[in-house]
A and B are shown apart, each in its own frame.
Chain A
Amino acid sequence: MSFLSYLINGLSLGSVYAIIALGYTMVYGIAKMLNFAHGDVIMVGGFAIYTLMNSMGVNPIIAVLISVVICTALGMAIEKIAYKPLRKASPLAVLITAIGVSYLLQNLALLIFGSDAKLFSSVVSVPAANIGAISITGETIVTIVACIIIMIVLTLFIKKTKAGQAMLAVSEDKEAAELMGINVNATISLTFAIGSGLAAIAGALLCSAYPALTPYTGSMPGIKAFVAAVFGGIGSIPGAFVGGLLLGIIENLSKAYISSQMADAIVFSVLIIVLLVKPTGILGKKISEKV
């Protein structure tokens, strides 16, 4: 019985990791860069919703939609200012820039909102589902449903639309895509726009499930979600979902049955083992690099 409730707790946490990981993996899959500022865009989304709801009394759904717009604009701006000039630079330079952007966003939030925790009011009004003695919170249900919808829509978008096909082409070979008349810069911008929009949704759900909002709210879940994305196979959209859920469940079960203190250490050890055994992650494809 208690095993089931630990499992459900793990699922709640995992669903939040999964929705963040979707954004990570999407940007990595197309632009081939690790956007370490992703977690902080989530935080910005959280603060946007908090401000809209608490200071201006905006309806939660509308607040989420506005925050999606804000984060999308922010994502595109970051891409334009920080990443685009480095398109030809080494991946390491871009990675370091991303870390810089991450700190910039954290410190800006620190300046504007201060570092005391704000308690976030949930944007989810779905009631908890009770199955026997087990209760699944509304936040968990909405997060999982949102993950599945996002996953399906993203997959369809990439497979069925012209812009999606262009993304696929850019991810495979930038130069060749350019020769085929694809606007590589516009495609990468679009990827960031979508990734950041997803971050806003993730922010809304993360803060609803765990309502203490600080300028550092996004950073640890962001890193864990990155682990989840690698775990599931980075670049793979279903992989991010599976990786996120598994990571949450492993974390909570190790808290429950091994040691609440060691949970993080165990999670990261699992990652190391998975990478040793299957370097591409659970659902990752093996891509043979051309030399």
Chain B
Amino acid sequence: MKKLLGTLLSVAMVASLLVGCGSAAPADGASDGAKTFKIGGIGPLTGGAAVYGIAVKNGAQIAIDEINAAGGINGCQIEYNFQDDECDAEKSVNAYNTLKDWDMDILMGTVTSGCCVAVAAKTAEDGMFELTPSGSSVDILAGNDNVFQVCFTDPNQGIASAQYIGQSKLATKVAVIYDSSDVYSTGIYEKFAAEAPAQGLEIVATEAFTADNKTDFTTQLQKAKDAGAELVFLPFYYTEATLVLKQADTMGFDPIFFGCDGLDGILAVENFDVALAEDVMLLTPFAADATDDLTKSFVAKYAEIANGEIPNQFAADAYDAIYTIKAAAEAANVTPDMSVADMGKAITAVMPTIKVDGLTGKAMSWNAEGEVNKAPKAVVIKNGAYVSMD
């Protein structure tokens, strides 16, 4: 008798659990009944990578204002909510949960690679469509069908950098300094090193540093100098790069410095002597001095909302991300009352078929893995501003 009662009780408990799930699921989807697309954004608005997050937030805002003024996506207006993650993976996941509570339909983010890997795992679980403007690690895409990138993947940046240096005959003896504790930096370095021999580049010094030891680069620079490097490749973020440039200047080492999109933002660092960045080159798909109408109007609008600042590549990536979301949502003919997972599935299916003309490339297209296909560009810093190298 006791046994039977126990069994009955446990059956009842399991059943109540199931009922709980069953009633919760439709509530989730139904709460989405509003007639607006809710696009969420996540990125660092404070902290060491704040320059990126702020640029993305503003760049996306411009695109959303334009789209809303022109009638929205499929006739529905866009609501936009951007959350700060301080470039911390844990905080990024928290920000994602906050946005889910806000009933986000589509995620434009996250801005930095490390956070994006963590959040992409969550969106993949939920089936939400995610388009990162600037998260460039391949790990973001691996196994996540729902995630796409606007910027180049790290390996593609590494390969493109080596090709650019080789084909422009900038140097033959190259030194690399990279952050071995960072997935972005290591990813670029590995592909760069693999591609370099094919471009006639000789890597004369490979030096690393870690997150715990990133203030003193004198030894790494000294080794590059002693090895006779004509060009030093810096595939990491701008905060460390300011120190590298200063320390190289102090020791009288003046090679060509070449970086990737992580260096974008270096000119905005408080108290940084921009003269140190003179002649630094970086691979970036966007140059604010370009003379086409799209770039000109974007730069003007950006200055309006950001106290006269010149937009960087991240702002442009975010602007393109919003227009890509619009193009894909229209191609898939989705509406805001669809559930997050259905919408994600529909948009994911059309992504490989669309082509988007944006600030960072003409006729950008995507493969099913989520990688973007567009032509790389490089800029050089002259008198404290980017100048296109082409």
B-binding residues in A (CB < 8 A): 2, 5-6, 9, 12-13, 54, 114-121, 128, 135, 137, 210-212, 214, 220, 252, 255-256, 259-261, 263-264
Contacts and interface: CB of A to CB of B under 8 A. Distances in A.
A260 B272 contact: no
Interface residues of B, number: 33
B171 interface: no
B355 interface: no
5 contacts: A6-B219, A117-B48, A256-B223, A260-B223, A261-B208
Nearest to B221: A9
Contacts of A118: 270-271
Given A220-B213, A264-B212, A115 B219 contact: no
Contacts of A259: 208
Contacts of B339: none
A119 B222 contact: no
Nearest to B212: A220
Contact of B222 (A54, A210, A211, A256): A256
B269 A117 contact: yes
4 closest A-B pairs by CB:
A210-B215, A115-B47, A119-B271, A261-B208
Given A115-B48, A116-B46, A210-B243, A54 B271 contact: yes
A220 B215 CA distance: 10
Contact of A212 (B208, B219, B243): B243
B218 interface: yes
Contacts, number: 83
Given A114-B46, A115-B46, A119-B242, A260 B208 contact: yes
B212 A13 contact: no
Nearest to A267: B213
Contacts of B219: 6, 9, 252, 255-256, 260
Nearest to B51: A116
Interface string B46-86: 11101100000000000000000000000000000000001
Contacts of A256: 219, 222-223
B210 A211 contact: no
Q: Dominant SS at the A interface?
A: mixed
B270 A261 contact: no
Interface string B319-342: 000000000000000000000000
B122 interface: no
Interface string B187-229: 0000000000000000000011110110110111011001000
A245 B272 CA distance: 29
A272 to B, nearest CB: 17
Contacts of B207: 260
A260 B220 contact: yes
A260 B50 contact: no
Which of B219, B243, B250, B269 has most chain A Cβ within 10 Å?
Answer: B219
A219 to B, nearest CB: 9
Nearest to A213: B271
Contacts of A119: 242, 269-272
Contact of B218 (A9, A121, A211): A9
A6 B216 CA distance: 12
Given A137-B250, A260-B209, A261-B210, A255 B220 contact: yes
B239 interface: yes
B218 A12 contact: yes
A111 to B, nearest CB: 10
